[in-house]
Amino acid sequence: MTMFENVTRALTRQLNPRGDLTPLDSLIDFKRFHPFCLVLRKRKSTLFWGARYLRTDYTFLDVLEPGNSPSNPTDSGNFAFKNMLDAKVEGQVDVPRTVKVTGAAGLSRNSTLEVQTLSVAPKALETLHQERKLSAEHPFLKEMRDRGENLYVVMEVVETVQEVTLERAGKAEGVFSLPFFAPLGLQGSINHKEAVTIPKGCILAFRVRQLIVKGENEWEIPHIYNDNMQTFLPAVIQASDVGEMHEDFKTLKAEIQRETQEVEKLSPVGQSSLLTALCKLLGKKKELQDLELTLEGALDKGHEVTLEALPKDVLISKEVMDAILYFIGALTELSEAQQKLLVKSMEKKILPVELKLVESTLEQNFLHDKEDVFPLQSNLLASLGEEELILTEALVGLSGLEVQRSGPQYTWDPDTLPHLCALYAGLSFLQLLTKAS
């Protein structure tokens, strides 16, 4: 995970903990998430580790008939990178529309990340609704209707007030030092110095509302919507299959079990081949994300979906591919270092132990909203040797779960919940595939 992603996620937790404010995870796309921009929700998103949205090349105003337009914020700026790592920020409310986030772990000593919120005024939206109808023949709308997509309009954003440079150096995620990782062959991917310059006017987080199309050219953007609502009625939704809102650990476990049951429909040969292919991609986050986008694009366009890694006689149904995408989405939430640690864990055959550790932790603390230290069941890690124990500590630690051998005990931080949910799903998926191998 890049430093930019970590900053936006930490900021979102401060401004809107467990709310509907979504952190932006791509620097290059920030201009496509201004107010009135149209976005798509990713296939197989889940609210357990955050609904994810895809940019489009259009704003809501682009698909309306010509007429008067409300002002639309514009900005420009360049990003300057060194190597990026983790950042945590601490926030304090300064004035109602401005929040200052001052120096903490992950920020350079003298830097202040100052942000403000911009939102579409209700009166402006009401006037727009009265004066401008949809352009029914717009090619983008026709394509989205044919594909059965749901469209969302960015209604509120959090943007930087001034340019700021954030930097970090030292231990990986502030928890593990280089010597621990050297024996595992991960030396180059963990311990280094990183910084990013974020320009004035850069979108860091956003809030959306769903666009509802009525008939040919009528529209509304309701204040309240749910995942059963469709942008284009009565089209059958083929994409944006979103998981349930997380109520408790049982809901997460049931969601993962439903998806694993679909993957189990693959033959043992298919599962084994899939695992082999994934092992080649784990640790190469960009390539894993490219695979995810390719598969999503093929499904969205109704094309036949195949995986080169699978034998030609292994058929994949849409439901199975949706489940595979669900788990690939979880794996892409993990850092490249964690992905490499998962491969090492499979080699050491310790996935069941790691899965049980994460499952036990989530089961006990899913709804616990305060940071605290808890005793760890000694038998959970009793079967691990020294190297396997270091590997496990690193894997969960990079998701924010700090295990201390003295006790033994662990530190629970509620901010780590989405990361641990993604890790739990990834471990469940890989454990399923290793059984077939």
Cα distances (angstroms) measured from residue 269 to each of 214, 313, 331, 351, 435: 47, 10, 22, 20, 11
* CA–CA dist 363, 280 (Å, integer): 32
85, 15: one domain: yes
**Predicted local confidence at residue 301, as pLDDT:** 58
Q: Which residues contact 153 (CB under 8 A, 6 or more apart)?
A: 36, 37, 38, 39, 60, 208, 209, 210, 211, 221
**Predicted local confidence at residue 305, as pLDDT:** 57
**Predicted local confidence at residue 369, as pLDDT:** 81
Q: Place 376 in a pLDDT band, splitting at 50, 70 and 90.
A: confident
Q: Place 411 in a pLDDT band, splitting at 50, 70 and 90.
A: confident
Question: Exposed, middle or buried by CB within 10 Å (0-12, 13-18, 19+), for 214?
Answer: exposed
User: Any idea which residue has 């970090």 for tokens?
Assistant: 168
254, 216: one domain: no
Residue 85 CA, distance from chain mean position: 16
208, 278: one domain: no
254, 214: one domain: no
* CA–CA dist 171, 190 (Å, integer): 8
Q: Is residue 231 part of a domain?
A: no
58, 206: one domain: yes
Q: Place 70 in a pLDDT band, splitting at 50, 70 and 90.
A: confident
Q: What are the φ/ψ torsions at residue 94 (nearest 5 degrees)?
A: -100, -60
20, 157: one domain: yes
Residue 59: is its pLDDT beyond 70?
A: yes
36, 152: one domain: yes
Percentage with pLDDT > 70 across the chain: 73
pLDDT one-digit tens code per residue, 268-326: 888 888 898 889 899 887 788 777 777 776 666 555 555 655 555 556 777 888 889 88
11 touches 116 (CB < 8 A) = no
User: Any idea which residue has 């209604």 for tokens?
Assistant: 155
**Predicted local confidence at residue 291, as pLDDT:** 79
Picking from 17-26, 138-147, 148-157, which range would have the lowest pLDDT averaged per residue? 17-26
Cα distances (angstroms) measured from residue 410 to each of 71, 354, 361: 51, 14, 9
| Token code pair at residue 178 | 């280089």
Q: Place 237 in a pLDDT band, splitting at 50, 70 and 90.
A: very low
Q: Is residue 161 part of a domain?
A: yes
Q: Place 335 in a pLDDT band, splitting at 50, 70 and 90.
A: confident
pLDDT one-digit tens code per residue, 218-230: 999 998 776 678 8
* CA–CA dist 412, 269 (Å, integer): 39
Residue 200: is its pLDDT beyond 50?
A: yes
The CB-side HSE value for 376 (13 A sphere, CA atoms) comes to: 25
Residue 182: is its pLDDT beyond 50?
A: no
Out of 210-214, 285-289, 396-400, the most confident range is: 210-214
| Token code pair at residue 101 | 């986030």
Tell me which residue range forms the domain holding 153: 3-220
Q: Place 368 in a pLDDT band, splitting at 50, 70 and 90.
A: confident
From the list 160, 157, 33, the residue with the least C-alpha distance to 101 is 160
Domain boundary among the residues 199, 220, 241 is at 220
133, 272: one domain: no
Residue 212: is its pLDDT beyond 80?
A: yes
Q: Place 213 in a pLDDT band, splitting at 50, 70 and 90.
A: very high
Report DSSP state, residue 64: B
44, 137: one domain: yes
Q: Which helix (H) or strand (E) holds 203?
A: strand 203-210
Mean pLDDT, residues 152-159: 92
Number of domains in the chain: 2
265 touches 313 (CB < 8 A) = no
85, 191: one domain: yes
196, 339: one domain: no
Mean pLDDT, residues 194-198: 75
Q: Is residue 238 part of a domain?
A: no
Return the SS3 of 95: strand
Q: Is residue 61 part of a domain?
A: yes
**Predicted local confidence at residue 101, as pLDDT:** 40
**Predicted local confidence at residue 303, as pLDDT:** 54
213, 258: one domain: no
Q: What's the chain's Rg over C-alpha atoms?
A: 22
Mean pLDDT, residues 241-248: 51
- A 10 A CB-CB count for 384 gives 18
Between vectors from CA 59 to CA 54 and to CA 60, what angle results, nearest 5°?
110
Residue 148 CA, distance from chain mean position: 23
Q: Which residues pair with 205 in a beta bridge?
A: 23, 158
Percentage with pLDDT > 90 across the chain: 24
Residue 246: is its pLDDT beyond 80?
A: no
DSSP for 361-420 reads HHHHHTT--S-EEEE--GGGSTT--HHHHHHHHHHHHTTT-EEETTTTEEEE-GGGHHHH
428 touches 355 (CB < 8 A) = yes
Domain boundary among the residues 178, 202, 220 is at 220
From the list 171, 41, 47, 48, the residue with the least C-alpha distance to 106 is 171
| Token code pair at residue 276 | 């082999």
